[in-house]
Every structure is written in C-alpha cells, then in structure tokens.
C-alpha cells in the first residue's frame, strides 16, 4: 500500500488539477491555506505538474489551464488516473521510475494536448507574486492604506487601488495625492513602500468604475475626451462584432456599409494602436489635434523610408 506521505501529495495533485479544470484560478497562497502546507511546498507541487499538464498563469498571476484544455478531455477518468498513480507507486524501488511515470502520463494525455482552438494571448512581464514587494502591495491595497512609494526617479504619497496589466507590463493603479489624479505607475520602478498610518475611503465600486476607463498604461483620471473615426466597409464587420475598448460606440451606419465609431479615452495612446492596426481603412475625424498628430507621424515615417 502507498505510504501516507505519498497519499497526501497525490491528494494535493488531484485537488490542484480539479480546481484548474474547473477554472477556479487559485494562487499559491490559496493552495497553501487550503492544504495547510507552505507556499514552497505548493510551488514544488506545481513544478511537478507543469511538466505533465499545460498549466499557465492569467494576467493577475493566478494559475489556470491553457485555453481550451480540460481534464475532462483526457483518455482516463479521474478515478482511473488515481488508480494508475497508486499502482505506479508500488514500483518506487525501480531505477528511473520517475522518468517512466512521466512518460506514461504524457502518452495518456498526448492526444488531448492538441488544442483544436488557437487563442493568442498577450505575453506578460514576469512578476513574482510571492515577493515581499507584491505581498506588501496586496496587503496595503486590501487595507486601503495610504503609503509613500519610492520609485527610481521620484517619491509619491499614493492611495493604492489595484495591480493591473497593460500591454504586457505590470502597473500600480493608484491616486497621486500631489494632484489628486488616479494614474498608472510601472511596478518594476518601485524600490520601497512605507506606510503612513493613513487610510482612504474610496469605495470598491468607485475604483472599479475608474478602472473601466483605463484602456492603456497612459491613463490619467479626469482627462477624458472623445475620438470619432470613420471605418470603411471593408473592416466594418470587425467593429460591429467586437468592442475594442469598453467605451466604443457605433454612432452611425451608412448605406455604403461604412461606420462612424466613437471612443471615450483619457489619452491618445488608448486608441492609437487600434487605429494604426486598421489603416488605411480607418480615418480619424475628431479631434483635429489627434488627426494631425497621426498624419505627421505617417508623413515622417514615409519620408524616413524614402531617404534610405
């Protein structure tokens, strides 16, 4: 019979995989608390499982299966997988048994590892969710503390709201008390955090509402304006089928199939890449300042190419 230690490890593996298959998106801390083990133990479990299963992390650093994968798609049921694991454990004295186990599991799962869906998701900057800095930020965000944050180039008093990801990089979403504006601050530039024994009363709802307006790392609260574009009929279906940002609205649909689409943004960069991605089938109508800026950029680029 398998020893008690192995049974505990196996039970953790099963529970971890079940939660991932159910898309519960747990963290290492969640697992550690549930299993009453250290975070290091959970990290060791996950390293073992990542060699067998397509496990990744979402934008908030929570564990998940790669899109389209589920335990329900394996060739064996959960009970059968448990039985197999217990049976293989009887041969622990065999040389290279771990390698043999891994080969068996990979062969069992091989057919299901081919995902019929292709979903391209953004590669995120690495972040150590268990680092002292992130642990402090999480704690201060939860307790609504006002803190002094030391960056590489400045020091600010901030109301901490969220840790957020934009364009593959991690940012701190917080209110700058020097001007009262909510902004984003690059996480990698934070050197130290000092509590001020002060607390804010900004509601969770208010924070969520403000965050909905943030479409890029250039967000700054209180500076919103409308961008109006004309979308040619060739790509109109894409804009009708998908809201590229939350504030996108179709203002008018013309007989020739073209559209007028508006975006409520706080910075040009919120929609700059969207517009450039659909050139030459998108034309900026308003504001004129933004239209002129893009025109100048394109003219400069063309001139640069011509001189080579």
Same structural domain, 108 and 181: no
What total of structural domains would you count in the chain? 3
22 and 105 share one domain = yes
In a domain, 217, yes or no: no
pLDDT at 113 over 50: no
Domain-terminating residue out of 113, 146, 179: 113
Same domain, 168 and 258: no
Query: Is residue 120 included in any domain, yes or no?
Result: no
Residues 186 and 231 both lie in one domain: no
- Looking at residue 290, what is its pLDDT? 92
Cα 20 from Cα 17, distance rounded (Å): 5
When pLDDT is cut at 50, 70 and 90, the band that residue 287 belongs to is very high
Query: Residue with structure tokens 């057919």?
Result: 111
CATH number for 32: 1.10.10.10
Instruction: Confirm whether 119 is domain-assigned.
Output: no
pLDDT of 242: 86
Instruction: Choose one of 86, 113, 140: the last residue of a domain.
Output: 113
* pLDDT-above-70 percentage for the chain: 76
Determine how many CB atoms are found less than 10 A away from the CB of residue 28: 20
pLDDT exceeds 70 at position 272: yes
CA–CA gap between residue 67 and residue 74 (Å, rounded): 15
Q: 131 or 1: which carries more pLDDT confidence?
A: 131
| Strand, helix or coil for residue 189 | helix
Work out the angle between the directed axes of helices 39-50 and 28-35 (0-180°, nearest 10). 110
Give domain status of residue 300, yes or no. Answer: yes
Domain that holds residue 165: 132-212
- What's the pLDDT score for residue 44? 84
Residue 203 shares a structural domain with residue 262: no
- Residue 96, judged by CB atoms within 10 A of its CB (0-12, 13-18, 19+), counts as exposed
Whether 196 maps to a domain, the answer reads: yes
| Per-residue pLDDT, 120 | 46
Most confident of 165-169, 220-224, 301-305: 301-305
Same domain assignment for residues 14 and 93: yes
Residue 163's pLDDT is 87
The predicted structure's pLDDT at residue 91: 57
Three-state DSSP class for residue 125: coil
CA dist 39 and 130 (Å) reads 9
* pLDDT value for 167: 74
Residues 256 and 289 in one domain: yes
Of the candidates 281, 152, 267, the one whose C-alpha atom is nearest the C-alpha of residue 215 is 267
Phi and psi angles of residue 77, each rounded to the nearest 5 degrees, phi first:
-75, 170
Q: How far is CA 210 from CA 19, 51, 61, 223, 229, in A?
A: 31, 40, 22, 12, 24
Q: Rounded to 10 degrees, what is the CA torsion of 249, 228, 210, 170?
A: 100
Q: What is the pLDDT of residue 101?
A: 60
* CATH code where residue 184 lies: 2.30.30.100
> Is residue 285 assigned to a domain?
yes
Q: What's the pLDDT score for residue 40?
A: 85
Q: What does the alpha-carbon distance between residue 128 and residue 136 come to, in Å, rounded to a whole number? A: 12
Higher pLDDT, 250 or 220: 250
Residues 164 and 244 in one domain: no
CATH code, domain with 286: 3.30.70
Looking at the structure, do residues 206 and 246 belong to the same domain, yes or no?
no
101 and 166 part of one domain:
no
Spatial neighbors of 70 by CB under 8 A, at least 6 apart, are 21
CA angle, corner 131, sides to 166 and 185, nearest 5?
30
121 located within any domain: no
Confidence band for 244, pLDDT divided at 50, 70 and 90: confident
pLDDT band at 121 (very low <50, low <70, confident <90, very high): very low
What is the pLDDT confidence band of residue 294, given thresholds at 50, 70 and 90? very high
In the listed set 51, 84, 113, which residue is the last one of a domain according to the structure?
113
**Do residues 108 and 8 both lie within one domain?**
yes
Q: Classify residue 215 as exposed, middle or buried by CB count within 10 Å of its CB (0-12, 13-18, 19+).
A: buried
Distance of CA 43 to the CA centre of its chain: 20
The answer on 252 and 208 residing in a single domain is: no
Is residue 126 in a domain?
no
> In sequence order, what E strands does the chain have?
55-57, 63-65, 145-151, 155-166, 169-176, 181-186, 190-199, 225-231, 249-253, 259-265, 282-286
In the chain, what percentage of residues exceed pLDDT 90?
31
């Amino acid at each position: 019979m398998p020893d008690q230690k192995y049974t505990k490890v196996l039970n953790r593996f099963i529970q971890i995989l079940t939660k991932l298959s159910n898309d519960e998106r747990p963290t290492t801390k969640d697992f550690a608390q549930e299993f009453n083990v250290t975070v290091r133990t959970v990290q060791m479990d996950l390293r073992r499982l990542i060699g067998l299963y397509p496990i990744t992390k979402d934008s908030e650093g929570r564990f998940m299966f790669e899109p389209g994968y589920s335990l329900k798609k394996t060739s064996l049921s959960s009970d059968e997988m448990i039985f197999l694991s217990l049976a293989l454990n009887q041969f622990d004295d065999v040389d290279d048994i771990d390698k043999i186990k891994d080969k068996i599991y990979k062969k069992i799962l091989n057919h299901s590892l081919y995902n019929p869906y292709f979903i391209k998701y953004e590669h995120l900057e690495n972040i150590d969710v268990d680092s002292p800095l992130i642990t402090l930020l999480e704690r201060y965000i939860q307790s609504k503390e006002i803190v002094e944050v030391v960056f590489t180039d400045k020091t600010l008093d901030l109301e901490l709201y969220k840790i957020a990801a934009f364009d593959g990089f991690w940012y701190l979403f917080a209110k700058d008390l020097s001007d009262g504006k909510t902004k984003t601050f690059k996480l990698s530039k934070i050197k130290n955090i000092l509590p001020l024994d002060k607390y804010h009363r900004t509601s969770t709802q208010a924070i969520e509402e403000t965050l909905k307006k943030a479409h890029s790392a250039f967000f700054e609260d209180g500076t919103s304006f409308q961008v109006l574009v004309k979308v040619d009929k060739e790509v109109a279906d894409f804009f009708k089928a998908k809201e590229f940002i939350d504030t996108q609205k179709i203002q008018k649909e013309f007989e020739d199939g073209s559209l007028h689409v508006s975006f409520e943004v706080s910075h040009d960069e919120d929609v700059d890449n969207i517009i450039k991605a659909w050139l030459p089938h998108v034309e900026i109508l308003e504001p004129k300042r933004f239209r002129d800026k893009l025109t100048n950029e394109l003219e400069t680029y063309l001139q640069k190419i011509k001189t080579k």
